[in-house]
């Protein structure tokens, strides 16, 4: 009996010893822990789980028409993105920042594309989004028969010309325009103007009378077309080109004098104006 018990104890010790040896072997032979393979910002091209930085533009969605001249663009990045750059087509890229929206404008009537780029690390090319996200949208802030400036917001300096246009939009049988607007003569002066080609798009000759006052900050222009066939023009086009000069840093509005501004047809009947849209010039 004692011999059997001794044999059992030896067997148990042997088993325990074997297990202990296995544990030690395991501890020695187990390789160091692998880096997690789902690290999304591991730029190693050999890492099949790498997820490139990516931007989604939330608004405006492509194809949107904005009825306001200022358009707020919002976006988001995928997990791990820490910085974005944004740009309106034709403009410069912004500095990298963590902002996820920007309001552009006031923008002129027309079509635009906005681009946004994301990065996990702006200092490593492989961690910057390859192709920026983009969205195309249209600004149609002026609607109905209108007079407006183009562009609605313009920046200029103390040297060089500041070129602005006066546009008639969505007119029918327009033959005569009287437009009066004011500006801040401490910020800008109106140096010159010239008739554009919209009123003569059916031929004919332009008769004009203009009076500018760079002390009061007021400009009045009367334009009519004679000898055109048909006598009036329809649609949208530029009436006059205006050239301002900056005189001091600041913001000047270009403000229509509603009571004195009018459109007339070939029968000399007034054409109802839906909107007179003012503009701003900033001199830096
Ligand atoms: Ca429009």
Cα separation of 34 and 62, whole Å?
A: 43
N-term to C-term CA, the chain: 108
Separation of CA 277 and ligand 1 centre (Å): 11
Judge whether 168 and 144 are in contact, CB under 8 Å.
Answer: no
Separation of CA 110 and ligand 1 centre (Å): 8
Cα separation of 51 and 67, whole Å?
A: 37
Token code pair at residue 227: 């000898």
In this predicted structure, what is the pLDDT of residue 17? 47
Cα separation of 233 and 265, whole Å?
A: 9
Separation of CA 107 and ligand 1 centre (Å): 12
For the structural domain made of 55-139, what CATH number should be given?
Answer: 2.60.40.10
Judge whether 175 and 266 are in contact, CB under 8 Å.
Answer: yes
Cα separation of 108 and 106, whole Å?
A: 7
Separation of CA 146 and ligand 1 centre (Å): 9
Cα separation of 112 and 90, whole Å?
A: 9
Judge whether 111 and 240 are in contact, CB under 8 Å.
Answer: no
Separation of CA 141 and ligand 1 centre (Å): 6
Question: So where are the chain's domains?
Answer: 1-30, 55-139, 146-283
Token code pair at residue 251: 């913001």
Q: Is there a common fold for 55-139 and 146-283?
A: yes
Helix (H) or strand (E) holding 18: helix 2-29
Percent helix, percent strand, percent coil in the chain, to nearest 5? 10, 50, 40
Separation of CA 264 and ligand 1 centre (Å): 20
Separation of CA 108 and ligand 1 centre (Å): 9
Per-residue DSSP letter, 184:
-
Separation of CA 206 and ligand 1 centre (Å): 25
Per-residue DSSP letter, 128:
B
Judge whether 243 and 161 are in contact, CB under 8 Å.
Answer: yes
Rounded to two decimals, what is the model's pTM? Answer: 0.79
- In this structure, the strands spanning 64-66 and 133-139 are parallel
Cα separation of 72 and 76, whole Å?
A: 14
Q: How many CB atoms lie within 10 A of CB 163?
A: 12
In this predicted structure, what is the pLDDT of residue 36? 52
CATH fold, domain 146-283, is: Immunoglobulin-like (2.60.40)
Separation of CA 226 and ligand 1 centre (Å): 27
User: Could you tell me the mean pLDDT of each successive run of 10 residues in the chain, 284 residues long?
Assistant: 52 46 47 54 73 95 96 96 94 96 96 97 93 97 97 96 98 98 98 96 97 97 96 97 98 98 98 98 98
Q: Environment class of residue 1 by beta-carbon count within 10 Å: exposed (0-12), middle (13-18) or buried (19+)?
A: exposed
In this predicted structure, what is the pLDDT of residue 12? 46
Separation of CA 25 and ligand 1 centre (Å): 80
Separation of CA 195 and ligand 1 centre (Å): 21
Q: Which residues are paired to 268 by β-bridges? A: none
At 8, is the secondary structure helix, strand, or coil? helix
Separation of CA 159 and ligand 1 centre (Å): 32
In this predicted structure, what is the pLDDT of residue 47? 78
Separation of CA 278 and ligand 1 centre (Å): 14
Judge whether 262 and 174 are in contact, CB under 8 Å.
Answer: no
| Region for residue 220 given its phi and psi (left: phi exceeds 0; alpha: psi -120 to 50; beta: otherwise) | beta
């Amino acid at each position: 009996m004692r011999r059997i018990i001794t044999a059992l104890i030896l067997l148990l010790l042997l088993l325990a010893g074997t297990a202990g040896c296995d544990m030690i072997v395991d501890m020695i032979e187990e390789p160091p822990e692998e880096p997690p393979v789902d690290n999304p910002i591991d730029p190693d091209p050999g890492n099949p789980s790498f997820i490139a930085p990516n931007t989604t533009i939330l608004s405006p969605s492509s194809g949107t028409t904005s009825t306001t001249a200022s358009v707020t663009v919002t976006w988001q990045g995928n997990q791990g993105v820490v910085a974005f750059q944004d740009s309106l087509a034709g403009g410069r890229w912004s500095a990298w920042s963590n902002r996820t929206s920007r309001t552009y404008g006031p923008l002129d009537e027309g079509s635009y594309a906005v681009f946004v780029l994301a990065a996990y690390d702006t200092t490593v090319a492989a961690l910057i989004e390859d192709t920026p996200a983009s969205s195309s949208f249209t600004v149609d802030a002026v609607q109905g028969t209108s007079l407006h400036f183009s562009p609605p917001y313009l920046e200029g300096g103390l040297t060089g010309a500041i070129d602005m246009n006066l546009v008639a939009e969505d007119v029918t049988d327009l033959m005569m325009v009287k437009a009066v607007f004011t500006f801040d003569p401490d910020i800008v002066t109106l140096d010159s103007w010239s008739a554009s080609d919209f009123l003569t798009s059916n031929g004919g000759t332009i008769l004009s009378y203009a009076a500018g006052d760079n002390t009061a900050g007021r400009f009045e222009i009367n334009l009519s077309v004679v000898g055109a066939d048909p006598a009036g023009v329809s649609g949208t086009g530029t009436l006059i080109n205006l050239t301002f000069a900056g005189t001091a840093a600041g913001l000047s509005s270009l403000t229509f004098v509603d009571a004195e501004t009018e459109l007339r047809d070939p029968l000399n009947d007034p054409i109802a104006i839906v909107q007179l849209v003012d503009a701003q010039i900033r001199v830096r």
